[in-house]
Amino acid sequence: MLPPKKYLLTRTNFLILTQQIFFIIYGRKKMSEVINNSKIRVEILKKLLLDLHNGISVEETKLKLSEMLGAVPYGEVVQAEQELIQGGLPTEEIMKYCDLHSDAMKGKLDLALAQTAPDGHPVHTLMEENKSIMKELDKLKHTYNYLQNVSPTEDAGKTLLEIRKVFNALTDIEKHYVRKENLIFPFLEKYKITGPPTVMWGKDDEVRAFIKSSLKLFETTNTAIVEELLAFFDLMFNPTIRAVEEMIFKEEKILFPMCLDTFTEIDWYEIYSQSNAIGYCLYDPQVEWKPEIEIPKEEKQVDNEKIQLSTGSFTKEELEALFGALPVDITFVDKDDKVRYFSHGKDRIFERSRAILGRQVQFCHPPSSVHIVEKIINDFKSGKQDEATFWINFNGKFVHIAYYAMHDAQGKYLGTLEVTQDVSQYKKLEGERRLLTYDN
């Protein structure tokens, strides 16, 4: 898919356009003076990225970067992508060429201003996890190089088993990505940085798809000769390696430095305090991190007053217990599309953390499903629909997902309620049960 016409830029008129920008804004000033202006650098970078979309090679783009910009501050790469998305370039288009962007930027990013993270800090933990992930990728690379020097007809069953162990380990990447998406991305959105996280979430999903597809292969075969195994590498394993490596580059050269320069110590403490609940990827943090500033302690207020409803009342503790005891997971999104509440039963089906509270619900879903979320909400707000239901197979469970429009007594839209439940047990019911029988 090509970018919209207004973004099309030929190789010939690129330099002409750049010169026009220089002379219109800066007259006859030296190019070196212009290069030091961040706004102009971002405009040039946007044109270079669009050139990649229009077919100019990565090597040619690298050459232009060296000639016109030199080293590029990572923040300007983020700003360029953000402005392209805000200007109308589809997120899917940015995501499609994201790896080309990374390839063109390798060796060109200026990280002189980036901070470092102390031991135990969330970023330190994420980078240690990346080291562990790279060790698993290196095992795959070593195996691939080894197989190229072995007879194509030789049995490779044992090697296939070793590769399967590596991919089993790589499934741990899910916890790394979930912490990033559910804990770090909400704070980026708080600082109005929304484009790059959306693109990165889409690339996370590509990695997930690669790993899932590779694991399916192991379910269908446990024997192979070398020639077949090399074909598997070309088809699935090597693309998985490249996708994971590209994500590590994006995280360590752009995402982490940007977050370190943007987030406060209190932000990082919130991320740190919620990380244990999600878990870690192939690495166990060895040091307890404490922020340099004193974090104010939350004062626990006991409220014994009844919450009066139209058909009864609860104390706050009773209401909390009620939602926790329900055999369903509940999430409430208010009329402004912000997540305001989720229940915390002991066996939640989908991961939730307090970092999503106050977050736009559109940013809580992968880019591939945002359009469905928006359609449901728009139909609820307009009164066109009041309910939307789905059922899926997920982690060995048969899951029913329902969305309900909420209105006040006058019919005014108040928000959307999501109710999720594992209904596997109900599919097995037959006949009747009229006598008391405990299942546990």
Q: CATH assignment of 313-426?
A: 3.30.450.20
Whole-number Cα distances in Å, 342 to 271, 332, 351, 363: 18, 6, 11, 16
CA distance 240 to 137: 9
Answer whether residue 5 shows pLDDT above 60.
no
pLDDT tens sequence across 74-111? 556 666 666 666 666 666 655 554 554 455 455 545 44
The helix or strand, by DSSP H or E, that contains position 415, with its residue range, turns out to be: strand 413-422
Listing DSSP states for 261-288 in one string gives HH--HHHHHHHHHHHHHH--SS----S-
Question: Of residues 59 and 112, which shows the higher confidence score?
Answer: 59
Report the 10 Å Cβ neighbour count for 299. 5
Q: To 5 degrees, how large is the angle CA 437–CA 438–CA 439?
A: 115
pLDDT tens sequence across 399-410? 999 999 999 989
What pLDDT score does 268 carry? 95
- 406 neighbors 383 (Cβ within 8 angstroms): no
- 399: β partners: 392, 422
Least Cα distance to 42 among 12, 20, 74 occurs for 74
CA distance 49 to 100: 9
pLDDT tens sequence across 245-294? 989 988 988 889 889 888 999 999 999 999 988 889 999 998 999 988 88
Using CB atoms within 10 A of its CB, is residue 174 exposed (0-12), middle (13-18) or buried (19+)? middle
- H helices within 180-264, ranges in order? 185-190, 195-220, 226-232, 238-250, 256-262
What pLDDT score does 232 carry? 93
Structure tokens at 214: 């590779």
**Fold classified for 122-278:** Four Helix Bundle (Hemerythrin (Met), subunit A) (1.20.120)
Question: Of residues 305 and 200, which shows the higher confidence score?
Answer: 200
Ranges for all domains in the chain classified under CATH 1.20.120.520: 122-278
- 331 neighbors 417 (Cβ within 8 angstroms): yes
Mean of per-residue pLDDT scores for the chain: 81
Ranges for all domains in the chain classified under CATH 3.30.450.20: 313-426
The helix or strand, by DSSP H or E, that contains position 141, with its residue range, turns out to be: helix 122-147
- 233 neighbors 262 (Cβ within 8 angstroms): no
Report the 10 Å Cβ neighbour count for 263. 20
Average pLDDT on 422-436 reads 90
